[in-house]
Amino acid sequence: MTELMEPQTPQWWKKADVKKTFILWIICTAVIGYVGVEFHVRNIVAPASENMSSIISLIRIFTWAAAPVAGLVSAMSITVLTSGRHYGDNPPPEADHEIRNSPKTTAVWIVVSGLLCLFALVGGLVVLQHDNEAILDTKAVQVNVVAQQWVWNFDYPNGARSEDLYLPVNKPVVFHITSKDVKHSFWIVQMGIKMDANPGYTTETAVTPDKIGVFDIRCAELCGLLHAYMQTKVHVVSQADYDAWLTAQAAMEAGA
Amino acid sequence: MTTLTHEKTVAPGKSIIERLNVVTALVLGIVSAIVVWRLSLAFLPEDADTAKIFTREDKITLLSMCAWFVGFMTGIGALVGPFRWLMGKDLSHAENMFLAGKDMGPKRYFRYTTDHKVVGIQYLFITILIFFLGGGLAMLIRTNLGHAEGGWLHPQAYNDIVGTHGILMIVGTIIMVTGPFGNFIMPIMIGARDMAFPRLNALSFWLIVAAAIPLLWGQFLGGITTGWSAYNPLASQAPLGMDGYIMYICIFAISTMVAGSNITTTVVKMRAKGMTWNRTPIFIYGTVASVALALPAFPVFFLSQVLSAFDRALGTSFYNTAAGGSGWLYENLFWLMGHPEVYVILIPSIAALMEMAPVFTRRPLFSFNVAVMGIAGISGLSVLVWAHHMYISGWAPLLNAPFMLTTELISIPTGMLFLVLIGTLWRGRLWMTMPLMSILALLWNFMIGGVTGIYLSDVPADAFLHGSMYVTAHFHYTLMGAGLTGALASLVYWFPKMTGRMFDKTLSWIAFWLVQIGFNVAFIGMFMVGLAGQPRRVATYAPTFSTANLVTTIGAYTIMIGMLVLLHGVISSARNGVKAPKNPWQAKTLEWTVDYPIPLENFDVLPTVTSDAYGYGKAKS
């Protein structure tokens, strides 16, 4: 009926502002996706474990998934801002329509945001499952981490102790973390793992370092006066170097 | 009037209410605090040698602060009414008129005045004050972090400033829309003569004033060195300043609960004839959703701090794992309040912008029902997401996946709010004013805040991002980029109704651009250092983070200049701005139907509503 009464009205996708928005949408999506990904990838630390690599992939995927939505909002904003601005102290004339809703648009919007939500959830769950299984690895190197204001102490299975962490490359490690005083948070920055150190509880997290080098450990939970200074290094070395260091350290510990 | 003067002259007939004001309150508060302090110093037993060293001092501090609180509230006149009720009497008509501030002039702003318009202005004043205190502290933080080796603040002072900035801004943003505009505008907008409980309204405001002193006092007792989240057991080893924080939160929580029940009752029971839920403006929905969310959230906050006070002063072990308590209990209680709270801040701001969108585009609000669904959906889900603050706490790793689900689900109702705003702008006539540009600024800022929220809601990515500057940047984008933007737009939009004068247009534009540009510069820089691995709340950092930190500091100073321009705009426009017509924006909500100055009880004849307030635009002929 409506079409019969208004034969002049073109279909919605043929209207000028829709076409303009569509082109802007593609441009905005590309720009936002590209800039968003590059912003994160260039600023984020270089990965030193598979955990960190998959975090960067997740950020990359989520950014591209969010880009069309952000692109649409931006494109529509640009379209409305570039057509029919009105300046002055008196209001502009009334708009030439009184549309109060559009069930189809609303339905599409909700379904698409639901699907994106599901997508983000599944992506997160896949990686999460992988991380959770790593904690159960009994063949992994077991290191006890004891936090106290404002130092880290590491205990190794053979009795060695240290304040700098030493790890063999490409071997799974499970950390058992606790605290002597207040809450701290054990963060190996370049390996993308973090777990709070709670007094009275032991918490676990796991990682497999895949690069030889020296990386940062920082406390990520405000823990009092010298929180900012509560940091140390992790030395990821070859298995042979690690074994040599461990023996020497244990001998030193026994001698002392 | 003559009878009133007559009563006054007959000694000793001057009612107790007429003698009380902010001066008597301050005097009585300070005197009670000093008396209780001296008494407890004299009579409280010494701690046993085995006890924690601070216990006795904590008791003395908390008792003195409680005495301040009771003394101040008595001195302002909050107890007169309840006391009369206990005696089986009530206030006389003349006394009620006096309380409402009838024919009193500027003095009513310094008394326990029940008129909702006075309370609204009082809230506006205290919100501005809190923002300038909190903002000043932010400038200290950013100056300290401007250069890697420039850590001129002692770490203890720095930690205190971070904590005080946090709690001041949280309180400031919670009250920034529902306080001034929820009190001043909302009753007129629904066509009511006043709030449902005018005395509770005055109570909620003066509680916030009473709360301020313990926080200030705490600054002289070692400060809040724990950040605003005040995690235990760090809080139990913190200096006496922590007791100031505890008292501040307890009193503020009472204020929020009082205001929340008042606003909810007013909206449910006192809407004008014909104002069905379909015709109720969307700003009202936002205000009610916000305070209704605060109703379950703030009692939990109150409780968490009471238990914290017990642990500190009485030696209990609610949060002490070694003695059978749990530090995770505190985190749960805190975030049970903490996550609904961010939506308490956000929803009224967005709803206010939704209210303005049809006015400045001259077309109906797009999808009123979707807007209501979005607000309801966010409110419902927001109480189910708190443990995403605890993904890496080790409390319940198995619950991480369900909390990731609820957190990501919030993006659906949030998307609905985006749809309503962008849908209303679409094919509208854009009236280029600061409130209209604020809608676009909100879309931009909240988009960045929302998308970065998706990374943070993801458990594996959060293992890297949690506790870093990235989180700080994210929540500033939501609370400030979205929340504050809406509040500033509300100020410009409702300024003519509140002061009778227009907000200076040029100044509003200058302030808008300085704040928005400064804001985006500051917090993009903060995202960068977060990704590079700088933790939150650190007094100093590695030299590799220098450049981006300097960028953030420059942005922060730009925001400060913008806010000072805005303050100048508020003062100069309120004094000598252009006189505003009754309805300068040609809006259709009820508050624009009353003349300035708005009389006591707002309406001579209560209005009847026959349609919603969004009947803009004209049908195609």
Per-residue model confidence as pLDDT tens digits over A146-156: 999 999 999 99
Rounded Cα–Cα distance for residues A102 and B423 (Å): 9
Chain centre distance of CA A34: 17
* Angstrom distances, CA of residue A174 to CA of A132, A133, A187: 11, 11, 14
Q: A226 to chain B: which residues are within 8 Å by CB?
A: 155
Cα of first residue to Cα of last residue in chain B, in angstroms, is: 58
Would the CB atoms of A51 and B429 count as touching at under 8 Å? no
Lowest mean pLDDT among A194-198, B100-104, B435-439: B100-104
DSSP string, B435-472: HHHHHHHHHHHHHHHHHHHHHHHSHHHHHHHTTBHHHH
Same domain, A194 and A230: yes
Would the CB atoms of B363 and A99 count as touching at under 8 Å? yes
DSSP state of B483: I
Residue A30 Cα, gap to closest chain B Cα (Å)? 16
* Angstrom distances, CA of residue B309 to CA of A201, B20, B59, B171, B314: 23, 32, 9, 20, 8
Tens-digit pLDDT profile for residues B130-146: 999 999 999 999 999 98
Residue B54 Cα, gap to closest chain A Cα (Å)? 17
Same domain, A115 and A209: no
Residue among B405, B588, B301 at smallest CA distance from A117: B405
Same domain, A129 and A148: no
The amino acid at residue B22 is V
Burial of A233 (0-12, 13-18, 19+ CB in 10 A): middle
The amino acid at residue B321 is T
Rounded Cα–Cα distance for residues B54 and B188 (Å): 51
Same domain, A158 and A121: no
B531: tokens are: 């990704």
- Asked if pLDDT for residue B620 goes beyond 70, the answer is no
Cis peptide before B12 (omega within 30 of 0): yes
How confident is the model at residue A217, as a pLDDT?
A: 96
B contact test, residue of A43, A72, A136, A232 with most B CBs within 10 A: A43
- Asked if pLDDT for residue A65 goes beyond 90, the answer is yes
Rounded Cα–Cα distance for residues B211 and B77 (Å): 16
Q: B427 to chain A: which residues are within 8 Å by CB?
A: 17, 80, 95, 97, 99
Is residue A76 very low, low, confident or very high in pLDDT (cuts 50, 70, 90)?
very high
How confident is the model at residue B3, as a pLDDT?
A: 43
Beta bridge partners of B501: B579
CB pairs under 8 A between A and B: 282
How confident is the model at residue B61, as a pLDDT?
A: 93
Q: B392 to chain A: which residues are within 8 Å by CB?
A: 185, 194-196
Same domain, A161 and A131: no
From the list A89, A125, A219, the residue facing B401 with the nearest CB is A125
Q: Phi and psi of B14, rounded to 5°?
A: -60, 115
Q: B458 to chain A: which residues are within 8 Å by CB?
A: 58, 62, 120, 123-124
Cis peptide before A150 (omega within 30 of 0): yes
Would the CB atoms of A95 and B427 count as touching at under 8 Å? yes
Same domain, A195 and A123: no
The amino acid at residue A23 is I
Would the CB atoms of B620 and A96 count as touching at under 8 Å? yes
- Asked if pLDDT for residue B10 goes beyond 80, the answer is no
Residue among B133, B105, B142, B116 at smallest CA distance from B21: B105
CB A68 within 8 A of CB B456: no
CB B418 within 8 A of CB B353: no
Rounded Cα–Cα distance for residues B179 and B240 (Å): 30
Residue A26 Cα, gap to closest chain B Cα (Å)? 17
Say how many C-beta atoms besides its own lie within 10 A of residue B323's C-beta: 12
The amino acid at residue B282 is I
Is residue B51 very low, low, confident or very high in pLDDT (cuts 50, 70, 90)?
low
How confident is the model at residue B8, as a pLDDT?
A: 43
CATH of domain B114-593: 1.20.210.10
Is residue B621 very low, low, confident or very high in pLDDT (cuts 50, 70, 90)?
low
Same domain, A244 and A148: yes
How many domains does chain A fold into?
Answer: 2
Rounded Cα–Cα distance for residues B436 and B443 (Å): 11
Burial of B487 (0-12, 13-18, 19+ CB in 10 A): buried
Please compute the mean of the pLDDT values over residues B96-113 and round it to a whole number: 87
CB B263 within 8 A of CB B179: no
Rounded Cα–Cα distance for residues A214 and A212 (Å): 7
How confident is the model at residue B247, as a pLDDT?
A: 95
Tens-digit pLDDT profile for residues B138-173: 999 999 998 877 678 899 999 999 999 999 999 999
Is the alpha carbon torsion for B94, B99, B100, B104 positive or negative? positive
Task: Give pTM, 2 decimals.
Answer: 0.93
CB A197 within 8 A of CB A186: yes
Q: Is residue A199 part of a domain?
A: yes
Nearest CA in chain B to A217: B533
Chain centre distance of CA B442: 18
Would the CB atoms of B155 and A77 count as touching at under 8 Å? no
Would the CB atoms of B394 and A203 count as touching at under 8 Å? yes
Domain residue limits at A214: 141-255
Chain centre distance of CA B137: 17
Q: Residue A184 in 3-state DSSP? A: strand
Would the CB atoms of B460 and A131 count as touching at under 8 Å? yes
Same domain, A118 and A240: no
Q: Is residue A246 part of a domain?
A: yes
Name the one residue in this structure whose structure tokens are 């002055």: A88
Tens-digit pLDDT profile for residues B483-511: 999 999 999 999 999 999 999 999 999 99
Same domain, A125 and A177: no
CATH number, domain with residue A200: 2.60.40.420
Would the CB atoms of A95 and B428 count as touching at under 8 Å? yes
Q: To the nearest whole percent, how much of chain A has pLDDT over 90?
A: 72
How confident is the model at residue B2, as a pLDDT?
A: 40
Same domain, A127 and A197: no
ipTM exceeds 0.90, yes or no: yes
Q: A203 to chain B: which residues are within 8 Å by CB?
A: 393-394
Would the CB atoms of A106 and B451 count as touching at under 8 Å? no
B8: tokens are: 């006054």
B contact test, residue of A17, A80, A188, A233 with most B CBs within 10 A: A80
Residue among B353, B315, B253 at smallest CA distance from B57: B315
How confident is the model at residue B587, as a pLDDT?
A: 94
Tens-digit pLDDT profile for residues A85-128: 899 888 998 888 888 888 999 999 999 999 999 998 998 898 88
From the list B369, B397, B454, the residue facing A66 with the nearest CB is B454
From the list B415, B538, B617, the residue facing A109 with the nearest CB is B415
How confident is the model at residue A83, as a pLDDT?
A: 85
How confident is the model at residue B81, as a pLDDT?
A: 87
B contact test, residue of A150, A222, A223, A233 with most B CBs within 10 A: A222
Nearest CA in chain A to B416: A110
Is residue B9 very low, low, confident or very high in pLDDT (cuts 50, 70, 90)?
very low
Rounded Cα–Cα distance for residues B199 and B207 (Å): 12
How confident is the model at residue B505, as a pLDDT?
A: 93
Domain boundary among A65, A100, A135: A135
From the list B362, B366, B461, the residue facing A91 with the nearest CB is B362
How confident is the model at residue B237, as a pLDDT?
A: 85
Q: Residue A165 in 3-state DSSP? A: strand
Please compute the mean of the pLDDT values over residues A32-36 and round it to a whole number: 96
Please compute the mean of the pLDDT values over residues B298-309 and round it to a whole number: 94
Same domain, A169 and A65: no
CB A95 within 8 A of CB B363: yes
Rounded Cα–Cα distance for residues B585 and B130 (Å): 29
Nearest CA in chain A to B162: A222
Residues contacting B183, CB < 8 A, separation 6+: B116, B117, B119, B120, B123, B195, B201
- Asked if pLDDT for residue A2 goes beyond 50, the answer is no
How many helices (H) and strands (E) are present in chain B, helices listed first? 23, 1
Please compute the mean of the pLDDT values over residues B439-456 and round it to a whole number: 94
Rounded Cα–Cα distance for residues B119 and B205 (Å): 7
HEC sequence for B536-601:
CCCCCCCHHHHHHHHHHHHHHHHHHHHHHHHHHHHHHHHHHCCECCCCCCCCCCHHHHCCCCCCCC
Would the CB atoms of B427 and A17 count as touching at under 8 Å? yes
Same domain, A176 and A227: yes
Tens-digit pLDDT profile for residues A207-254: 999 999 999 999 999 999 999 999 999 999 999 999 999 999 988 888
